[in-house]
Amino acid sequence: MGVDFSALRTLINRYCAGEENWVDSRTVYIGHKEPPPGADAFIQQRFPDNRVVSSKYTFWNFIPKNMFEQFRRVANFYFLIIFLVQLIIDTPTSPVTSGLPLFFVIIVTAIKQGYEDWLRHKADKAVNQCPVSVIQRGKKIKKESFRITVGDVVFVKEDETFACDLILLSSSRDDGTCFVTTASLDGESSHKTYYAVQDTKAFRTEEEVDSIHATIECEQPQPDLYKFVGRINIYMDNEAVARPLGSENVLLRGATLKNTEFIYAVAIYTGMETKMALNYQSKSQKRSAVEKSMNSYLVVYLCILISKALINTVLKYIWQADPNKDEPWYNERTEAQRQRHILIRAFTDFLAFMVLFNYIIPVSMYVTVEMQKFLGSYFIMWDDDMYDEELGEGAVVNTSDLNEELGQVEYVFTDKTGTLTENNMEFIECCVDGHVYVPDAICNGQVLSGAAAMDMIDTSPGPGGREREELFFRALCLCHTVQVKEEETVDGIKHGIHQGKSASFYISSSPDEVALVEGMKKLGFTYLRLKDGQMEILNREDEIERFELLEVLSFDSVRRRMSVIVRAASGDIFLFCKGADSSILPRVISGKVDEVKARVEHNAVEGLRTLCVAYRPLSPEQHQEVCRLLSGAKLALQDRDKRLSEAYELVEKDLILLGATAVEDRLQEQAADTIESLHKAGMKVWVLTGDKMETAAATCYASRLFRRNTQILELTTKRVEEQNLHDVLFDLSRTVLRHHGSMTRDNCSSLSNDCTDYGLIIDGATLSAVMRPPQEDLNSGSYKEIFLEICRNCSAVLCCRMAPLQKAQIVKMIKASKEHPITLAIGDGANDVSMILEAHVGIGIMGKEGRQAVRNSDYAIPKFKHLKKMLLVHGHYYYIRISELVQYFFYKNVCFIFPQFLYQFFCGFSQQPLYDTAYLTLYNISFTSLPILVYSLMEQHINMDILKKDPSLYKDVAKNSLLRWPTFIYWTVLGVYNAIVMFFGTYFLFDNTTFTSNGQRMTTNTQMMFGNWTFGTLVFTVLVFTVTFKLVLDTHYWTWINHFVIWGSLVFFVLFSLLWGGIIWPFLNYQRMYYVFMQMLSSGPAWLSIILLITASLLPDVVKKVIWRALWPTITERIQVNAGSFHVLAFLHVSGHRFSACVRCSCLLRNTRVDIYSPKQAECFIDEEKESNVTPPRPRRSLETAPEQRRLVL
């Protein structure tokens, strides 16, 4: 009896003989059936179940994990150390004063994060317990989703969502296809076609599917949604038949089955190994400029804190060097403590002073900032002006940490297609051998309106030309991935396009393909459907032509083309190919190349998107060779993409050029106005696109990126071929530097067209050469610096023919330049994700290229026009608000703790607290926190209409102007001044016998009552009122919420003080505050001193503001003065059911003259505004004439 060692030999070869490639693959046994004898060994692999976990914590690890994460923050860790010091050594303040604010912050944060994680647990449970139909032993059974395992055969009905990643085995459709929407994965709502394995697509019952005997070998899970490599081995009569598996066979978790009754599929990736779960990982954390400033200020105040503690420690031992001045009796030091080594005593005292002064570090500021960002983000999402009726969606905030960064943007990097344009393609014309065809008329470039399309086509050139024209139309009807969506009519019968045209429409993931197929329909050739591998088209004689679809060579961004191989009814085999001219023309061996190329360039200048179409007849032998090449590449498990690319290169050659097409992508509504506003706001706008130069340049003119007087500088491959790169760069550098400082857009009046500025155009190939590291044998050094210098002096830059990675490289280069400007990237497609993630702020457009950009962005908006309000209004407001919040927090804490520092000079440096423990604890938590929080949410220093009308106001807050060191020093000095006034003002008034006795004879009780706690309480009362009134003076926009919170906080302080000192609290071991506040308020001079000290504290700041506004007013301050003095326009304009209050304020932006308008004049003004926002017409003009057609919006 012989022994078969083949299985053992296979194992040894795979795992011991160096075949490492097998480590990266897995074997899936369909239905958990072992392979037949003689096949590969059955190796039971362990895979995770289908449980999806998006939560961060469990019941057991929440407390330790959350505490660890919170104490990783420097401020929290610092206060924890201070709290521990208070517990360990004898400190002047109770541990409660540091512990309570810290634990309040920790608990609030933990509750917030715990609640969010509980919601994730709840969502996970709902998903994991969803019922799923699974085939077992020829029967359908129901399983909870989390119980599905790899190898289970799943049954899915129409409109159900896939519970895991599946390989399609069969469907209810005869051709084995199914339609799927992947909106939850990439946002695309269009129907995508997926294909069943050819050998299993006929199995449509549970018994038939259960009889399948096969294994799947595929790659290990990886997060790329659009890549899959595998093969299926189907065992028939104990012989394996291998078939390739690709992304077109994989149904991803989260996608939904559409327009298909049911499917059978096998699970290959489950649970956290599904592609959707692998895409859960969070993006890298971005930090705003304000946060960096906060950390810098924190370091400064930490140094101040250490200096204070060190100075007091040194002075204490200098003071105690006098034998008559020992440790104060009330510190209750034991003899053992007095006998310690002086260094130990000095270190202990140093820590005690650190604890006493630690309130200068505002721990509650971090909580307030987090709340301001979180709550403030809802104002963006609730903004009705940023809601799009067509999409039914508004703005989305994916991260609220960068709200203020929207007000600091210096560079805007934008995509073109789908961002500046609508990505809504309209077929304009096609060119066949130099003859131009349009949907309504044709005549060699002459558009004859009103002529019938069929009549004009019949007059096209001779029989040979007619044959090539029809071949061109057939090529466009066949070379695509368009699907036909058939809707049921009223009587419930489905109609095809040739039966009921109004009931069917085309759908595709590419809007270009739909436009081309619909264009061919207008020219007499209608694509009907793909059925049983046959593509059907209806020609102009209403005859149905059928072509067998043999191969599809899919489009990819590297090749920039796609092809199909079809067999006609006559038996002839054709390869039809369409793609970018740069991709098609080099592969053409015949055809009227010059005529077609000239038309392509003409249409590109007109701003149209162009494609070239070519074909290649294949003999049966050539077809067999092509099939062999493609089959070998598709069956490869390793380097499949590379081998397919090599095979495509060999197949797509020796083409015969047929012609070219032109489709239009219209400019988005108000895109030009938005770019104009961004320029006026001081931002530089760069367009990064993969389109060809002429098309992109025409769009830039139409969108006002380039103006009529813009001098275009070209840094392109064509010019570099004529001159070397070194010479071109230095020529451009000399050109722009010659006019530096006088010819830039920033120095030009927006009302003048006489000023010249520069616009740069660069392509991807030249950019690669510029970005290349310098060679050692060249003396030129790096070209990058020269390129950056040129770009700095250009008002706008257009980068065309860009790869996605190059977009990110440009953003990274600008970020790393010596100015370190704040960058913003905006796009709508997957190719924009890299630059969105690279920029300081990433914004996604809810466009038609999927939602990958939206998912990876920090903010998402429906249209490009909404960027204007996002930056000029929301960004401006949030920066103003959070800047005031940060400076105010440090200011009020200086006012709070500096009197404590001064007090040590009057108490023998004994670490005696000036304020009561309750005041120390509640100052930042209750008495002063809510007013600044409401201010940071509500403040509008200028009306938002003015901000939109004069974008130059954005420059007032540019470059982090409100958080610069001079401003920080001013706030700190103001805080120190206020503290000195409060302390010494109270000290001198307190020392007055008239005050202490209230005009009466001083008694012992009175003298005791007006002791150190009364002194501290009086200072604290002046402090609370002063810092609150400081905020009142800075508030420009008052609502009932501001009034309620500001005055309510003061009332709460008074009531708390009365209650705290009016009752003997049994749980306290001291009653030092009993009746102190009431006794203080019973003194008339105390009231007078409070008023005088508050006035003296605030007066310098008021005087400074008055002088500065009178002598050196900013544009913002000038508008505030005028807006406060006049009602520029007060009327209500009734429009339908809406009331619009309009404010005419543009005259205030340049001077102080104010015009008063009548209602009639105001209505005219509204009409003018509406006209100024009309979308520019389609740019059907040359580069020279395009700018002249635009109207300047004043």
8 A C-beta contact, residue 830 and residue 794: no
Q: Which residue has the tokens 């001044």?
A: 977
* Contact by Cβ (8 Å): 695, 809: no
415 is catalytic: yes
Pairwise CA distance, residues 174 & 607, whole Å: 43
Only one residue has tokens 């009907």, namely 528
Whether residue 463 contacts residue 473, with contact meaning beta carbons closer than 8 Å, is answered with: no
Q: H or E element: which one contains 605?
A: helix 593-605
Cα 332 to Cα 877: distance, rounded to the nearest angstrom: 53
Q: DSSP for 1082-1108? A: T-HHHHHHHHHHHHHHHHHHHHHHHHH
Instruction: For residue 1126, count CB atoms less than 10 angstroms from its CB and return exposed for 0-12, middle for 13-18, buried for 19 or more.
Output: middle
N-terminal to C-terminal alpha carbon distance within the chain: 98
Cross-strand bridge partners of residue 244: 231
Query: In 89-229, which residue ranges form alpha helices assigned H by DSSP?
Result: 95-128, 183-186, 206-210
As given in the structure block, the two tokens for residue 1154 are 């104010």
Give CA–CA dist 264/1153, Å, rounded. Answer: 75
Two structure tokens written together for 171:
């469907």
Q: How many residues does the chain have?
A: 1194
Distance CA 317, CA 345 (A): 10
The Cα–Cα gap between 165 and 184 comes to 14
CB 601 within 8 A of CB 689: no
Question: Within the chain, how many helices (H) and strands (E) appear?
Answer: 41, 36
Of 1, 26, 3, which is closest to residue 14 (Cα–Cα)? Answer: 26
- Residue 1020 CA to residue 237 CA, distance in Å, equals 93
- Give me the helix-helix angle, 289-319 and 876-903, nearest 10°: 0
Give dist(CA 471, CA 586) in Å, integer.
21
* Residue-by-residue DSSP string for 919-968: HHHHIIIIISHHHHHHHHHH--SS-HHHHHH-GGGGGGGGGGGGGSHHHH
**Cα–Cα dist 527/539, whole Å:** 9
Longest Cα–Cα distance of the chain, Å, equals 125
What's the per-residue H, E or C state across 841-864?
EEEEECCCCCCHHHHHCCEEECCC
* Alpha carbons within 13 A on the beta-carbon side of 97: 20
CA–CA separation, 1192 and 394 (whole Å): 29
Q: To 5 degrees, how large is the angle CA 385–CA 388–CA 394?
A: 75
Enumerate residues 6+ apart whose C-beta is below 8 A from 1089: 985, 986, 989, 995, 1018, 1022
178: tokens are 């199914």
- Neighbouring CB atoms inside 10 A of 956's CB total 17
Identity of residue 1060:
W
Per the residue annotation, which of 152, 186, 349, 415 is the catalytic one?
415
Active site residues: 415
